[in-house]
Homo-oligomer: A and B are copies of this chain.
Amino acid sequence: MNLGKRRLFLSSNSVYKNLKYLEHTVNEMSEFLVDVSKILFIPFAAVAEKENLNKRWAEYNEAPKKAFADFNIEVESVHIFDDKKQAIKNAEAIFIGGGNTHHLLYWLRDFELIETIHNEMKNGKPMMGSSAGTNIFCPTICTTNDMPIISNPTFDAINAIPFQINPHYLDPDPKSDHRGETRQQRIEEFLKVNNRKVLGLREGAWLQVENNKILLRGLTGARLFTQENEPQEFMPTEEGLDMTEILLD
């Protein structure tokens, strides 16, 4: 598969340990954005009662706004636009925030924005996601950790990459006697009914897609699950670990 003009920044999480919102990654995000002066933020993963959604989404926009203020990059939320499709077409760059992936998909579908985002993405508009916002760039949301609090007729998502990401990937706690499935067991269940690679992206790690390459970057690593092979561990290098071949083959 050729990634063409795609430019993606897909982060496992928004808050790393005790750091501030995006603090662990905002430098690299700003470098990735190059000459962008304004980001269009998609806040639909933030959950609220229907009558409070606009208020909640307005509040949520404050977090990335603050994080990018030091870089002279404005952040405006898509929910304030009557014509949201046009807002996406007009945007210099898009950032989809974290929260509940099912809720995010529900509102993206309700506003009929999936296809528009997909098309802009294919044409090279820089797109960033974290957590649920990273999940939504996968072919489906089938590797989310989130509770299915709202139903969608399909789990099909933006489909910017041909593999799945599991954000907030978590190793099992060897001292726990809790008997719910481990994250690895859940991903192995996914692989029994879906033939598609899953990259478990630990908190602190992200993928950068540009120049037809996929680089693993950040403070931690990733674990790759496939139908054919045992899980494999990957750690980023300073420049980013080139995972293009292994993820696209």
Contact = CB atoms under 8 A, between A and B. Distances in A.
Given A178-B203, A179-B13, A189 B154 contact: no
Given A103-B193, A192-B48, A193-B47, A146 B203 contact: no
A20 to B, nearest CB: 12
B189 A149 contact: yes
A153 interface: yes
A26 B130 CA distance: 44
A79 interface: no
A154 B155 contact: no
A108 B180 CA distance: 22
Interface in A2-24: 13-18
Task: Tell me the number of copies of this protein.
Answer: 2
Contacts of A141: 148
A151 B141 CA distance: 10
Contacts of A58: none
B153 A153 contact: yes
Interface string A181-206: 10000110110111000000001000
Contacts of A180: 13, 145, 168, 170, 203
A151 B150 contact: no
A144 interface: yes
A149 B161 CA distance: 18
A124 B140 CA distance: 40
- Chain A interface SS verdict (over half): loop
Contacts of A145: 147, 180-181
A18 B145 CA distance: 26
A143 interface: yes
Most buried by B among A147, A187, A194: A147
29 contacts: A13-B179, A13-B180, A14-B179, A17-B179, A47-B189, A47-B192, A48-B192, A49-B192, A100-B189, A102-B148, A103-B193, A142-B147, A142-B149, A142-B150, A142-B151, A143-B147, A145-B147, A146-B189, A147-B190, A148-B155, A149-B186, A149-B192, A149-B194, A151-B154, A168-B178, A168-B179, A170-B178, A178-B203, A179-B203
Interface of A: 13-18, 47-50, 100, 102-103, 140-155, 168, 170, 173, 177-181, 186-187, 189-190, 192-194, 203
- List of 4 A-B pairs having minimum Cβ-Cβ separation, nearest first: A168-B180, A147-B186, A149-B190, A47-B189
